[in-house]
Structure 1
């Protein structure tokens, strides 16, 4: 998501950190392993090739490792390795950061004495839970947040910490009419992402709040990377955790990333939302649970509605007709609520909802900050397999009309500008107007009233010109 520089990628966040922060992060083997897994394939290959090479290598020698077609990817990988402080360049020589080399080697070989991968509890849990329970808990907690964002009340209201994060991240904002939180343009973009991207987007906002919460940023990152390397179904002790990390547990419970039977429990269970943080796999397939309609017969097949270990291709479930009718083969309350943001739903069946896209329904979505492109993107990404057989996938008449409805609200666009008026001499006005037109900053002028409007960017230039002309006239 690019709106308002809203980051959903942990790499984008890491590259903004100073060198000192990386030196602290690299002291944990689990963090080194997690950062390594975030690298592109050629970047991982470079790290593994240089891991046991303690002498510097020239950039020219490195270029011989790839063919001509791979030079661009090599350049991009080296740039990422440099920004993540893994490789340091001195003139034309590259050397691996020694702290990263040592701790990453420990992560691969099991060396070192630090328990950066967590400390499994030595005693059995009297109230042990299985993976199925953890999956259900994670889905329930995470979907409670998504349901609240789209305005459904099927689940309990999220905690105050979650609501604060939703507002601070601008995923939701206070409505001007009823003082309740409502979804924003950025929030709708958030809903369009896969669950793993959503979780990281949420956690990156949490990282931005770390200083406000008086939490050590390095300890927060180390704990998140530790969770990403933990084993699903294993219970870990809270004893090795720092005070900051123990404080994080309460928040991560609200997000469904970890499970604790009660506050103050001496053990915790990472859920699949945690263990997939650095794997790149989708964590929750059930968040977009849909029912795939068969071409023949009246039966329907339900897609996976739970946490799954394998990355699955999401099945499309939306049919859009040229008469603006929408048929969605889904029984997911979350997906129905998302559709209700821009579709006027008219009927609901066991495995399907039907409605119509109207000027009013699109207008209501636009008022919430949802754009026409986002609506079109959602319909296209969730299109039924039968619709995907056509080119274009969506009816152009409907697509064009949605954009036209958006343009109706954008007839006027406000932009900051400066008004120049009350010129004493017509020649002074004409000269200033001519100067503004020549440099391309004139928005409007009325020579009879000796008034004109200048863009904000051109104000300093025109103001300086007018002053110089007035001074020149006074010196004559």
Structure 2
């Protein structure tokens, strides 16, 4: 499929400082100490935070994990050679920003460090077991209508593209809820037109469309969590469940047994966005999709799960000196996105 179009020279594409796709560290750093204290009651989050820490910070956590009294800061400093002073400062800063450890006085007036009690307790549960089950481990009978990875990938992409189609004003806008639209407005990705009240894309929205799918989903979910209380949901509980999904296995089904009513509501929202597949609302099982597993990969590192959109980047764009643009693509979403930046002349 080819497109011929002319560039819209009036479109302002200057970077917007308001669009920030924070990784887990940056997101948690922006939350209150009270929120973090609540969050560390979930072993899933403690494990996720531990994995995201700098290498040296993880080393400190393991050395302090079974110590029941404050350790002098001078002793912690002695664990690292002066050659790595910069890395040590970075590690200490990360542990303090995330309230993983706290300053604690030692008899004699010496300053010390001690892991936060809730973080220490629940990280032990995640690493060593014990306590209440924290993983989705309920056994299920074999699914007579089991779904393979190819189906889950296609389903996730179809559901997520409903959101993107709505943003670009495509004709394919079926399936997006009013709640999802409110999230787009809250995130500043869309705004209400002053004349007719319709939702129109913003400059930040343009940037959003150019992000990878994993970053788009994580940024969208950050704003969902900011408005979770309006749905009578706990942001901490929702975030813990998201990271529980990120530790799941692609292609495996999981039971809804034992999930609270609030989490069942949240599961339906994740179903709408394509993070989980569930054949029907009352089905006792669901399948996490690649979108859910990639939540843990939104960071400055190597993704452990292949991105969902890895195979959908084929296509060509040619721009002539007379500002005429030729695009070769079979994706309706890419055609609609091109229409935001250019004036479509013909399509074949």
Indicate the TM-score class for this superposition, using the shorter chain for normalisation.
0.7 to 0.9
Residues 29, 176 of structure 1: alpha-carbon distance in 2 compared, 3 angstrom cutoff? same
Contact 2:125 2:131 in 1 (8 A): no
User: What secondary structure sits across from 1:211 in the alignment?
Assistant: helix
Alignment match, 2:178: 160
1:40-439 to structure 2, matched below 5 A, reads 40-66=54-80, 70-90=84-104, 92-109=111-128, 111-154=129-172, 156-280=174-298, 281=303, 284-286=307-309, 289-291=312-314, 317-348=316-347
State the distance in 2 between where 1:291 and 1:7 align.
25
Q: What's the CA shift for 1:23? A: 3.1
Q: Distance in 2 between matches of 1:287 and 1:193?
A: 13
User: Separation in 2 of the partners of 1:150 and 1:116?
Assistant: 40
How far does residue 27 in structure 1 lie from its aligned partner after superposition?
Answer: 2.5
Alignment partner of 2:37 out of 13, 20, 23: 23
Shift in alpha-carbon separation, 1:190–1:73, aligned structure 2, 3 A: farther
Aligned pair count reads 324
* Worse-superposed segment, 196-205 or 322-331: 322-331
Tell me by how many angstroms 1:243 deviates: 2.1
1:120 & 1:131 partners in 2: Cα distance?
Answer: 21
Structure 2 alignment gaps of length 5 or more: 1-14, 106-110
Give how far 1:283 is off.
6.0
Q: For the Cα contact (< 8 Å) 2:294–2:307, is it kept in 1?
A: no
SS at match of 2:113: strand
C-alpha contact 2:152 2:289 (8 A) present in aligned 1: yes
Decide whether the 8 Å contact of 1:234 with 1:270 is kept in 2: yes
Note the C-alpha offset of 1:202. Answer: 0.9
Normalising by structure 1, report the TM-score: 0.62
Q: Which is higher, the Rg of structure 1 or of structure 2? A: 1
Deviation at 1:118, TM superposition (A): 1.5
Say if 1:322 and 1:220 are closer, same or farther in 2 by CA, change over 3 A: same
* Greater alpha carbon shift after TM alignment, 10-19 vs 201-210: 10-19
Superposition deviation, residue 208 in structure 1: 1.0
Residue 278 of structure 1 aligns to a residue whose secondary structure is helix
State the distance in 2 between where 1:246 and 1:343 align. Answer: 43
Q: CA deviation at 1:261?
A: 0.7
What's the CA shift for 1:287? 7.5
* In 1, Cα distance between equivalents of 2:164 and 2:130: 41
Q: 1-side partners of 2:270 and 2:329: how far apart? A: 30
- By relative contact order (CA 8 Å, sep 6+), the higher-ranking structure is 2
The CA deviation at 1:229 is 1.5
CA distance in 2, matches of 1:11, 1:272: 21
Counterpart CA distance in 2 for 1:25 and 1:112 is 19
* Cα distance per residue 1:38-79 (max 9 Å; x no partner): 223333333234334445333334344445564333323322
In 2, Cα distance between equivalents of 1:346 and 1:42 = 57
Q: TM-score, normalised by structure 2?
A: 0.82
For residues 29 and 86 of structure 1, what CA distance do their matches in structure 2 show? 13
Moved more, 258-267 or 146-155: 146-155
Structure 1: runs of 5 or more not aligned: 293-316, 350-476
Decide whether aligned partners of structure 1 residues 342 and 68 sit closer, same or farther in structure 2, where only a CA change above 3 A counts. Answer: farther
Partner of residue 12, structure 2: none
Q: 1:248 Cα shift?
A: 0.4
- Distance in 2, matches of 1:69 and 1:341, equals 52
1:319 deviation in Å?
4.2
> What CA distance in whole angstroms lies between the structure 2 residues aligned with 1:322 and 1:218?
52
Residues 288 and 332 in structure 1, CA contact (< 8 A), matched pair in contact too: no
Residue 14 (str. 1) matches residue 28 (str. 2)? yes
Q: Is the 8 A contact 1:289 1:330 kept in 2?
A: no
Residue 279 of structure 1: how far off its partner (Å): 3.2
CA positional deviation for 1:171: 1.3
- Give the deviation of 1:34 after TM superposition: 1.4
Query: Residue 348 and residue 57 in structure 1: after superposition, are their counterparts in 2 closer, same or farther (change >3 A)?
Result: farther
Give the superposition deviation at 1:177: 4.1
What's 2:7 paired with? none
1:203-261 CA-partner distances (Å, limit 9, x unpaired): 11111111111212222222112112222222222222122211101111110011111
Relative to 1, partners in 2 of residues 1:342 and 1:279: Cα closer, same or farther, differing over 3 Å?
A: closer
Cα distance in 1 for partners of 2:41, 2:23 equals 22
